[in-house]
Structure 1
């Protein structure tokens, strides 16, 4: 299974994903590129910016809000 399919399946289960989680899930180090390709296919994915656990800096967390219309 490729990164795009793995990330999409994860999002379709109602889960969100961050870069760190993508690395653990499927060894994906270019999550933003995967999200960009999914958006170009018509998936509506929102980006939530959240604080890092250390409280210093922020990171993106992606959420699928709308699937591609058939």
Structure 2
């Protein structure tokens, strides 16, 4: 299974994914690139900015990618 296939499977199962989840669960360090690939295939994925505190108690922001629907153009769907 490719990284892109793992990401879309995760999005379909859980609805969203963060970079930390991608690293921990799948060893994917370039989640943004995989999201770009999925968008290029027609998937409707929204980027939301989340905020939290890091291990030093400092405020930090990160991306959360949310699957908004299926594929905008079904003819583009290659990953199931």
Give the gaps of 5 or more residues in structure 1: none
- The root-mean-square deviation of aligned C-alpha atoms, in Å, is 1.3
Q: Which runs of 4+ in 1 moved over 4 A?
A: none
**Pairwise mapping of residues 1-70 of structure 1 onto structure 2 (< 5 A)?**
1-54=1-54, 55-68=58-71, 69-70=73-74
2: distance between equivalents of 1:14 and 1:20? 15
Instruction: Tell me by how many angstroms 1:24 deviates.
Output: 1.0
User: Comparing both structures, which one devotes a greater share of its residues to strand?
Assistant: 2
Aligned residues: 70
| TM-score (ref. length: structure 1) | 0.89
Unaligned runs of 5+ in 2: 75-80
TM-score normalised by structure 2 residue count: 0.79
